[in-house]
Structure 1
Amino acid sequence: MTYEFLTNGTKPEKSNFLKLLVLLCLFVFCFACNTKEDKKSTVYPFITSSEPVRIVSVNDGGSIQSLWSNSRQFPNSVTVIELSPDKPPFTKTVEDAAPNTFAGAPYGATISNGRYAFIPNHPFGAANSASDESSIITVVDLDTDKLSTIKTFKMPHHAWQVMSHPDDKRVIAISDHQFHLFQMNGKQPELISQSEPSELYFTSFAISPNGTTIIATAAERLDYSTPVTLHLFELSGNSIQHVTEIGMQQNIGKIDQAFAPRFSPDGKRILALNGLGIAAKPPLDDIINIDMTTSPPKVTEVIKNVAQGLESLAFHPSGRFAVVTCIDGPYIGHLAVIDLTTSPMRILNYIPIEFVTQGIEFSPDGKMLFVQSTTASHISVYEVDGFHLNKSPYVLRTGEGPASLTVIKRNKN
């Protein structure tokens, strides 16, 4: 096809149409890019998450009085916080929702897409008598307005800790000498199995990402002077059996107060804290590494003299680093950021934080870190940028004395 030129030297209308079409496409492209950038750069005056997240803070009101002798007694409570991509946090705190005075590792447990929480309570020190009923686990429906109690289980002495099984259907708990396995039957919780009583006293534990291996800390007596050892257990079906005591590589040194262990996301290593989570004592506490790829597993690395009172830890979902809460005090605590990409592992930095640090969890997508502060009665929030933790100017308010933390991605039913 040939085109004739007009008398003014311009091309016919078809050529003008093509030019207009190109300009229109460029305009649409630029508009789309700007819109995308605007959405990306939106800064809200509140805390958001990239996906729906439920945070459960179990708050031990009595802990405030134990830390500050001139403080009044606060009620126990449970706080449920819902985060979303574009709405302010929805926070609900219910006082006396469940007894929860406890001193175990500050890790919580929920199942069934974050609907049901299992909350332990135990007396401090030795039980007062054989009829002491203060060691219990309360199951709470977090979807109800008043966080209704579904059932309360009377436990053997010292229901120290609970942890969700990766299948989101079962919960594991420990008391002084046993493991206990719970499961929901419809909307009712059931105790489905218990391990044989051990001669040792259990104090804390963790379960592997594949749900078949348990690491537990245990001692011959329940006092601060008795050495604590690390033990490996196997979960097969609903049966928990002891496998072996965890050994140590030569030249590791003295490791006798292990506490609050956790598995890495790939299950190949465990970090634990050497110091029973107690501050205001010499010496400074250590971080220990257990290599789960050896047979049998053993302690292969240690970072000495990290801080006073290492309380809890969280692995980033990438497995590249972990963050440890350090009680320190008396007025301020710290977070220790641990680089796990090097051998041996190393401390990258310390970040000051309000006193006393308790539960710590990353968001499921790894973009945020949440840390409880007991005396401040709030959760500090950090944005994760590589190995950097950037603190939000906003906090998430809890009940008085937050003491254990759970963070769950809420899937649509």
Structure 2
Amino acid sequence: MRTASRTGAALALMLAAGTASAQIAVSGNDNKARLVNGVVTIVANPPPDTITILDLGGRAPRPIAELAVPHSVVGPPTGVAISPDERYAFVTSAQRIDPADATKTIPDNRVSVVDLRSSPPRVVQTVEAGAGPSGISINRAGNLVLVANRNAGSVSVFRFAAGQLAPVSTVTVGPANSGPSHVQFTPDGRRALVTRDGETDSRVSVLAIDGETVTKTDRDLTVGTRPYGMGITPNGQWAVVANIGRGTGDADTVSLIDLRRDFYLTADTISVGPTPEGIQVSPDNRHVAVTIHNGSARPPGHPLLGVAQLVILRIEAGRLRRITQAPIGAWAQGIAFSRDGRTIVVQNMVDRNLAVFRFDGSRLIDTRQRIAVGGGPSAIRTAER
């Protein structure tokens, strides 16, 4: 891995030259948590968490910089976001080590702003959201950021201007244990959806947005058990939700939400396998990539131990259809598509690397390329356009 100091100038020049050639992805990497014999264990005296900046625009994805930024594997693998012009990254930290007991973690509240074009890339601001900030999104206008606070039952609203976040409001979406996990704007910026994975909650809330005014509507959608990750197609017609279940050998699901009219409806729900955590939609609006834990984080010999899978679904006539899948690393997390939809990058938390696949519309091909990162990769995003 090249250091940020050696690659910052190259990255700045590449981005300044125009985004047509660069396709930036950012991977958030947690150094606090490791899986030891199927048990999530807090590392003693861990190095700082990091982010890895990648270029997906070439023949093969490549890392171009890495720097220390607080981050956490807790929460869905959407705890990073990138501004539409690919200049700034936003990184949440849902958990930090408990200062009273270094073997445990407690909720954090930090959100970091990273200037990707500085040489080297650097954190330019840290702000406070609610307890357990997890999924984060920025609108296509590039001036409003929403953060789902998983331990507070709320969504934090920030104005973004001149490279700085400024708090605007906090929107309560449910009780503290409702578990708001990810929040994402619809492409027109008029609405946002919030997944709520609380054990007794399991719904998706709809927020209305008018300028900087964000309010919760009275429309909550029923999907599967414990909705967690989410993606929205670039054309704004569909949302997909990963319902992670309870981890007891469930046949867990992905739900399809019809956004084509103001009264949103759950159009379909399909079983995909145990614990679908990462989920992302393709640039062509037709495909959905999902990482399935499949018991891969279980201890050796456990009856539910399995091999994690990357599953591809297709949206057809308002329904979801499974078309292909491939094995991936244990405790897999987030997913990123290249702009042409032909490259898929998957985070392997246990292996501490990124796996690169090719997708031709019907088949997944493992390129065998693995990109080492400085920590357990636990969230990844590209700019939404």
Q: Is TM (by shorter chain) over 0.5?
A: yes
Q: Indicate the structure with greater helix content.
A: 1
Q: For 1:301, what is the secondary structure of its paired residue?
A: strand
Q: Deviations over 1:105-164 (max 9, x none)?
A: 212212262222211112389999xxx883111112223455422121122211122112
Contact residue 281 and residue 287 of structure 2 kept, 8 A: yes
Cross-structure match for 1:58: 28
Cross-structure match for 1:323: 289
Contact residue 127 and residue 157 of structure 1 kept, 8 A: no
Does 2:207 correspond to 1:203? no
Distance in 2, matches of 1:229 and 1:281, equals 20
Distance in 2, matches of 1:205 and 1:409, equals 14
Contact residue 321 and residue 341 of structure 1 kept, 8 A: no
Equivalent residues in 2 for 1:317-396, closer than 5 Å: 317-328=283-294, 329-330=296-297, 332-342=307-317, 344-396=319-371
Count the aligned residue pairs: 344
Cross-structure match for 2:241: 272
Contact residue 257 and residue 265 of structure 2 kept, 8 A: yes
Contact residue 130 and residue 156 of structure 2 kept, 8 A: no
> Greater Rg, structure 1 or structure 2?
1
Contact residue 102 and residue 124 of structure 1 kept, 8 A: no
Distance in 2, matches of 1:255 and 1:125, equals 32
Offset of 1:260 from its aligned partner? 1.3
Cross-structure match for 1:154: 128
Cross-structure match for 1:262: 231
Structure 1 counterpart of 2:192, which letter?
Answer: I
Distance in 2, matches of 1:124 and 1:106, equals 17
Cross-structure match for 1:78: 51
Offset of 1:339 from its aligned partner? 1.8
Give the CA RMSD over aligned residues. 3.1
Do the aligned partners of residues 407 and 397 (structure 1) sit closer, same or farther apart at CA in structure 2, a change above 3 Å counting?
A: farther
Equivalent residues in 2 for 1:7-406, closer than 5 Å: 51-65=21-35, 73=44, 74-75=46-47, 76-85=49-58, 89-94=62-67, 97-107=68-78, 108-111=80-83, 113-123=85-95, 134-145=108-119, 147-175=121-149, 176-187=152-163, 189-200=164-175, 201=178, 202-218=180-196, 225-247=199-221, 255-275=224-244, 280-304=247-271, 306-328=272-294, 329-330=296-297, 332-342=307-317, 344-406=319-381
4+ residue runs over 4 A deviation: 65-74, 124-128
Distance in 1, matches of 2:310 and 2:59, equals 29
Contact residue 214 and residue 232 of structure 1 kept, 8 A: yes
Do the aligned partners of residues 232 and 84 (structure 1) sit closer, same or farther apart at CA in structure 2, a change above 3 Å counting?
A: closer
Do the aligned partners of residues 307 and 138 (structure 1) sit closer, same or farther apart at CA in structure 2, a change above 3 Å counting?
A: same
Q: Deviations over 1:76-133 (max 9, x none)?
A: 1111123453798353222xx22212422212212262222211112389999xxx88
Contact residue 334 and residue 351 of structure 1 kept, 8 A: yes
Structure 2 counterpart of 1:226, which letter?
Answer: T
Deviates more, 1:58-67 or 1:98-107: 58-67
Q: Indicate the structure with greater strand content.
A: 2
Distance in 1, matches of 2:321 and 2:202, equals 24
Distance in 1, matches of 2:383 and 2:170, equals 28
Deviates more, 1:189-198 or 1:155-164: 189-198
Distance in 2, matches of 1:228 and 1:314, equals 20
Distance in 1, matches of 2:330 and 2:76, equals 17
Q: Deviations over 1:332-378 (max 9, x none)?
A: 31011112125532111221111121110111222211111111111
Do the aligned partners of residues 270 and 69 (structure 1) sit closer, same or farther apart at CA in structure 2, a change above 3 Å counting?
A: closer
Contact residue 111 and residue 171 of structure 1 kept, 8 A: no
Structure 1: segments with no counterpart, 5+ residues: 1-48, 249-253
Do the aligned partners of residues 238 and 338 (structure 1) sit closer, same or farther apart at CA in structure 2, a change above 3 Å counting?
A: same
Deviates more, 1:292-301 or 1:69-78: 69-78
Structure 1 counterpart of 2:82, which letter?
Answer: T
Contact residue 30 and residue 376 of structure 2 kept, 8 A: yes
Distance in 1, matches of 2:22 and 2:114, equals 21
Q: For 1:204, what is the secondary structure of its paired residue?
A: strand
Scaled by the length of structure 2, what TM-score is found?
0.79
Q: What percent of counterpart residues are identical? A: 18
